[in-house]
Structure 1
Amino acid sequence: MRRVPVLLSAAVMLAVSSLAEAAPAAPSTPMRAPVADHHQYVYSPAAAAFLSSSAQLEPVTAQDLIAQLDAAGIERAAVLSVAWVYGRPAQLPDDEYDRVRAENDWAARQAGEYPGRLVALCSVDPLKDYALAELARCAASPEFGRGIKLHPAAGVRLDDPAQMARVQRVFRSANARGMAIVLQLRGTSAEGARLLIDQLLPFAPDVPVQVAYAQAPSAGARAGEGATQLAALAVLAEAAARQDPRMRQVWLDASSFARPGLSPADARRVVRRLRQVGMERVLYGSETAVGLEVPPRDAWAAFRSLPLTDAEAARVANNVMPYLR
């Protein structure tokens, strides 16, 4: 996969080794790779050019992604479109919605080259006026899987009633169309997690909701962001542990919580919360961020370095969302 190699494999493995003191004894037999990677991307030439303002990026095709999956031994992957990037406030092209549609369609065509292995999920910023129209268009197209990625380009403030109302209407529409939701959050606090449970999940009671975070609580996070996200994770985990009915359809995308550079103490905190959620609701995903190269093979090694039992890691490796089955 051709992206700017900001993190080299040696650095990744050094970060992984930092978790050794928190990890259990090495498994007696090698553990198979995950069945599915729930957090992968492809980039069209147009998206790569648009995203190259801060770092030079090249397009990433399905062929590139398949090579990375093969190297990791991963069978299938969710291809999450990056169409949401055109909503970035600092850029906002005049033909924003045209570009969003084109990028979603490009991702679908790429996934279509490997129909037995890749499933494309379109993406949209749920705060945009065109969000409902794009959701309806993607739901009607057989080229897309039965899910949509909601990714606010500038983040979302769930404590802002106007923003909350916009996200609620998209949740309601996705639920009505039977579309699973991949919700990408950034910097969400404990209060934001409570608002997610209280004011968003009731609008999508019938479809799976995959909660993902845009940055890991690791050495690469901004000051305080790791603690904020761990606090948000605690709220979700505690709600799951007390069997809050609103958490019945929630899956936790662990891609952002099991990353190279995670401290041993935070690794233990993450595992404690994952156990509260229940390993049957934890998904594996590599989540390669823009300009940050962490191949699936190294991302899986980082996940395996968490202090999980072999049985727990195996359960996560075998979990597959309905849109990928």
Structure 2
Amino acid sequence: MDRRSFLTLAAASLALPARAFDVSAASAATDAPVADHHQHLFSHAIARLLDTGAGGPPVITAQDVVALLDEAGIRRALLLSAAYVWGSPSRRIEDEYTKVRAENDFNGAQAAPYPDRLRAFGSFNPLKDYALDELARCADVPSLKGGIKLHFGNSDVQLELPEHAARLRQVFAAANAKKMAIVVHLRASVSKHRPYGAAQARVFLDELLPAAPDVPVQVAHLAGTGPGYGDAPADEVLGVLAAAVAAKDARTRKLWFDVATVANPEITPEQQAKVAQRIREIGVERILFGSDAAAGKNLRPRESWAAFRKLPLKEEEFARIARNVAPYFR
């Protein structure tokens, strides 16, 4: 989720009852995906930070997410910390690193009571001085050690800058050394109009992926930001990555792609066709279902899967995507 999406979230909070996962009900929903690979929690602190006066996101807890999963017949979810928001260069935050740590710990603590349902990844701005320290700290927290979330847009990462590429290589290598999966919102800042296209995709392929050869790397939103699939630069990036996968490039051996917010009610038939084309170029075995934060106009997991099912894919392709589970859940 990018900063623009955060700032347009509705103010009404979720009021969802917690309930146990109904295996029989889930089994009846044979169409439902096994896992939602892209979810977010919002602490009270983050909700306040993102409230601009016109209404910000609700507080979202693990209990809220589990209720939504149950409603959709989905067994598991990945909770991606929003701690990177504290480190956005557009903000000046007092005791910034303290707040980053607290947000990551909130996510880990929320996931801990649901070990069979939820995984939590910590996050941070990878360009900050504390980035490697926070990665190492999260690696020592049982409920956060599985992986990290990096948001290039919110953190204003510019891969065409050698110093940024070098820093990201350090972060990818550190995650690899700690056996932490990486979920990366690859899309450069939209609001700042940063360059984004084939050149950035090549830096990702040539410099970042080789630094983390042993862990899963998940590209969020099919390399875009959502909602929908009308972002031409993102499609250019995805085309480069899809071609590398199709060519069996060894650097893409552990590369995955999630479809969070890609399909929504506003997506055009032409965009639907393009998404289906890219999915087939990549291969359905690498596609992970995800729905994004359950707030504002974002579709909830059940509705998100229904919207995804409207893409021009075959039933066996939907079935394979529904069964896909990222290695960090295993």
Q: TM-score, normalised by structure 2?
A: 0.85
The number of residue pairs the alignment matches comes to: 296
The letter of the residue matching 2:287 is: V
Report the 3-state secondary structure (helix = DSSP H, G, I; strand = E; otherwise coil) of the residue aligned with 2:143: coil
User: Which position in structure 2 is the counterpart of 1:22?
Assistant: none
The letter of the residue matching 1:201 is: L
> 1:71, CA displacement in angstroms?
1.2
Change (3 A) 1:157 1:38: same
Q: TM-score, normalised by structure 1?
A: 0.86
Q: Which of 249, 258, 266 in structure 2 is aligned with 1:244? A: 249
> 1:291, CA displacement in angstroms?
4.1
User: Which position in structure 1 is the counterpart of 2:268?
Assistant: 263
Report the 3-state secondary structure (helix = DSSP H, G, I; strand = E; otherwise coil) of the residue aligned with 1:234: helix
> Counterparts of 1:165 and 1:260 in 2: how far apart (Å)?
40
The letter of the residue matching 2:312 is: P
Contact 2:198–2:237 (CA<8 Å) still a contact in 1?
yes
The letter of the residue matching 1:302 is: A
The letter of the residue matching 2:210 is: P
> 1:243, CA displacement in angstroms?
0.8
Report the 3-state secondary structure (helix = DSSP H, G, I; strand = E; otherwise coil) of the residue aligned with 1:59: coil
User: Which position in structure 2 is the counterpart of 1:71?
Assistant: 71
User: Which position in structure 2 is the counterpart of 1:306?
Assistant: 311
Q: Do structure 1's residue 85 and structure 2's residue 85 form an aligned pair?
A: yes
Contact 1:55–1:291 (CA<8 Å) still a contact in 2?
no
Q: Which of 4, 23, 28 in structure 1 is aligned with 2:10? A: 4
Contact 2:41–2:62 (CA<8 Å) still a contact in 1?
yes
> Counterparts of 2:303 and 2:113 in 1: how far apart (Å)?
25
Change (3 A) 1:289 1:215: farther
Change (3 A) 1:67 1:217: closer
Change (3 A) 1:283 1:262: same
The letter of the residue matching 1:118 is: L
Change (3 A) 1:256 1:193: farther
Change (3 A) 1:145 1:321: farther
Report the 3-state secondary structure (helix = DSSP H, G, I; strand = E; otherwise coil) of the residue aligned with 1:52: coil
> 1:270, CA displacement in angstroms?
1.3
User: Which position in structure 1 is the counterpart of 2:170?
Assistant: 169
Structure with the bigger RCO (C-alpha within 8 Å, sep 6+) is 1
> 1:56, CA displacement in angstroms?
2.8
- Provide, for residues 198-249 of structure 1, a one-character-per-residue CA deviation record: whole Å limited to 9, x for no partner: 111111111110011452263xx8xxx6111111111111111111111111
Q: Please, which moves more after superposition, 161-170 or 181-190?
A: 181-190
User: Which position in structure 2 is the counterpart of 1:205?
Assistant: 213
Report the 3-state secondary structure (helix = DSSP H, G, I; strand = E; otherwise coil) of the residue aligned with 1:271: helix
What pairs up with 1:1-325 in 2 under 5 angstroms?
Answer: 4=10, 31-53=30-52, 55-152=55-152, 153-187=154-188, 188-213=196-221, 215-216=225-226, 218=228, 226-288=231-293, 291-325=296-330
Report the 3-state secondary structure (helix = DSSP H, G, I; strand = E; otherwise coil) of the residue aligned with 1:280: helix
> 1:253, CA displacement in angstroms?
1.2
The letter of the residue matching 1:144 is: L
Report the 3-state secondary structure (helix = DSSP H, G, I; strand = E; otherwise coil) of the residue aligned with 2:226: coil
> Counterparts of 1:289 and 1:67 in 2: how far apart (Å)?
11
- Provide, for residues 60-95 of structure 1, a one-character-per-residue CA deviation record: whole Å limited to 9, x for no partner: 111111111111111100011110100122322121
Report the 3-state secondary structure (helix = DSSP H, G, I; strand = E; otherwise coil) of the residue aligned with 2:263: coil
Report the 3-state secondary structure (helix = DSSP H, G, I; strand = E; otherwise coil) of the residue aligned with 1:181: strand
Change (3 A) 1:260 1:324: farther
Report the 3-state secondary structure (helix = DSSP H, G, I; strand = E; otherwise coil) of the residue aligned with 1:165: helix
Structure 1: runs of 5+ lacking an equivalent: 7-28
For the aligned residues, what is the CA RMSD?
2.0
Report the 3-state secondary structure (helix = DSSP H, G, I; strand = E; otherwise coil) of the residue aligned with 1:210: strand
User: Which position in structure 1 is the counterpart of 2:3?
Assistant: none
Report the 3-state secondary structure (helix = DSSP H, G, I; strand = E; otherwise coil) of the residue aligned with 1:313: helix
Contact 2:89–2:156 (CA<8 Å) still a contact in 1?
no
> Counterparts of 1:99 and 1:123 in 2: how far apart (Å)?
12
> 1:161, CA displacement in angstroms?
0.7
The letter of the residue matching 2:116 is: G
